[in-house]
Amino acid sequence: MTSAPAPSARRGAVRVLVAHAGVHGSTQSIAERLAARLRERGDEVDVLAVDAVADPAGYDAYVVGSAVHDMAWLPPALRFVRANAGLLADGDVWLFTVGMPGALRGPWRTLAGREEGRVVGDLVAQLRPRGHRLFSGVIDPEHLTRAGRAAFRAMGLRYGDHRNWPEVDAWGREIGRALHGRPGPDGPPE
Ligand SMILES: Cc1cc2nc3c(=O)[nH]c(=O)nc-3n(C[C@H](O)[C@H](O)[C@H](O)COP(=O)(O)O)c2cc1C
**9 in a domain, yes or no?**
no
Cβ 163 under 6 angstroms from ligand 1: no
**190 in a domain, yes or no?**
no
Q: Which atom of ligand 1 is nearest to the CA of 27?
A: 26
Q: What is the pTM of this model?
A: 0.90
Q: Are 14 and 61 in contact (CB under 8 A)?
A: yes
Write the CATH number for 131.
Answer: 3.40.50.360
Question: Can you give the pLDDT at residue 183?
Answer: 56
**108 in a domain, yes or no?**
yes
**Hey, what amino acid is at 79?**
R
Beta bridge partners of 133: 96
Q: What are phi and psi of 11, to 5 degrees?
A: -100, 145
Q: Are 172 and 133 in contact (CB under 8 A)?
A: no
Share above pLDDT 70 across residues of the chain, in percent, rounded to a whole number: 89
Cβ 98 under 6 angstroms from ligand 1: yes
Asked if pLDDT for residue 112 goes beyond 50, the answer is: yes
Candidates 68, 97, 155, 158: which one to mutate for ligand 1, based on the most atoms within 8 Å of Cβ? 68
Cβ 138 under 6 angstroms from ligand 1: yes
77-81, 108-112, 116-120, 178-182 — which is least confidently predicted? 108-112
Q: Are 62 and 16 in contact (CB under 8 A)?
A: yes
